[in-house]
Amino acid sequence: MKKFTIYLAGDSTVQSYKTPVKPITGWGQMLHTYFKETEQKMNQDGCDWMGYGKKSDSDFDQSIIYETDGMFIDNRAMAGRSSRSYFDEGRLDDLKKAIKSGDYLFMQFAHNDANKEKEERYVTPEQYEEYLLRYINAAKERGAQPVLVTAIAMRDCDDTPDGKFSVSFPEYRDKMLEIGDKYDIPVIDLGKATDDYLNTVGDEGSKKLFMWLEKGAYEGYPDGKQDNAHLQQAGAKAFAGLLAGLIRSYDRDDKLDKVKAELA
C-alpha cells in the first residue's frame, strides 16, 4: 500500500532541530516514535538531526521527514512563525506543492500569533480564523485532511497565584475549537492535555521538560537557561505521546482512522 504523509505546520515548539543546539526539541521531532517502526530507516547517511530524519523536498532547509512502516511525517514547522508569517513567507505555498490526496496537514499555531510586539507575526483571534482557513482550504484543495492542534501549554506556574499551570493562549484555543465545530475539522486539544499533564508533574518536574538548564550542562548553553516556552527532548517526547494518545482516543468521526491504524 502506498504510504501517506502527515505534514506538520507550526512554530518552534513543533520544529525539528539539529544536534548542535541540543537539548531543544520540538514535539514534531519525536512524534514518529509513537508509530509502527520495525527499523530505524533514516539515519544511514550521517544525518546530524536529533532523532531519525532527513531533509524533505521542501524549498525550506528546516523541513525534515521521518519514515515509519506505513507513512511519513514531514515536519515543516519553523521557529518564530505564526499562522500569518508562515503564510507570508510562502511556506504554505511550498507545502501545497507536496501535499496530495490521502495526506494530512496538522497545524499548531498561537505562540507567535499572540505576540503583539511582533507586528509581522501578530493576528487577532478573528484574523487567526482567517489565516487558519487558508491552511484548511489548501489541504482540502489537494484532497488532504486538515487537522487543528491547539498550542501546547507553557511553563507558567511561576506566574499564577496558586502555582498551577493554565491553558496558554486561551482565546486562540477557543477560536480553534470553534473553527473545528464550524467547518467540521478534527481538533486535537493538545493545549488542554499538556496543561493537565504539567499539573501532574508540578513545578520542579516541569523544569525537566522545558529548557531549564544548569550552567555548563550543555555546550551550547554555557550560562544555562531558564526558558518556559521551549522543550527539552524529554518534554517533546512526553507531549508527542500526549498527541498520539489524543489521536487514538479521537471518536468524533472516522477522519483520523487511517492515522490511528499506524500507531504503535
- Give the C-alpha separation, 37 to 131, whole Å: 35
User: pLDDT tens, position by position, for the chain (264 residues)?
Assistant: 789 999 999 999 999 998 768 899 999 999 999 999 755 544 434 444 455 677 788 888 888 999 999 999 999 999 999 999 999 999 999 999 999 999 999 999 999 999 999 999 999 999 999 999 999 999 999 999 999 999 999 998 877 778 898 999 999 999 999 999 999 999 999 999 999 999 999 999 999 999 999 998 888 888 999 989 999 999 999 999 999 999 999 999 999 999 999 999
C-alpha separations of 207 from 198, 204, 235 in Å: 10, 5, 9
Question: What is the reported pLDDT for 38?
Answer: 52
Domains of the chain: 4-260 (3.40.50.1110)
Question: What is the reported pLDDT for 51?
Answer: 52
Question: What is the reported pLDDT for 39?
Answer: 52
- Give the C-alpha separation, 202 to 264, whole Å: 28
Record the pTM. 0.93
Question: What is the reported pLDDT for 43?
Answer: 44
DSSP for 44-103 reads TS---BSSS-EE-S-SSTT-EEEE-SSEEEEE---TT--HHHHHHTTHHHHHHTT--TT-
Question: What is the reported pLDDT for 48?
Answer: 47
Question: What is the reported pLDDT for 55?
Answer: 79
Q: Are 229 and 154 in contact (CB under 8 A)?
A: yes
Question: What is the reported pLDDT for 47?
Answer: 46
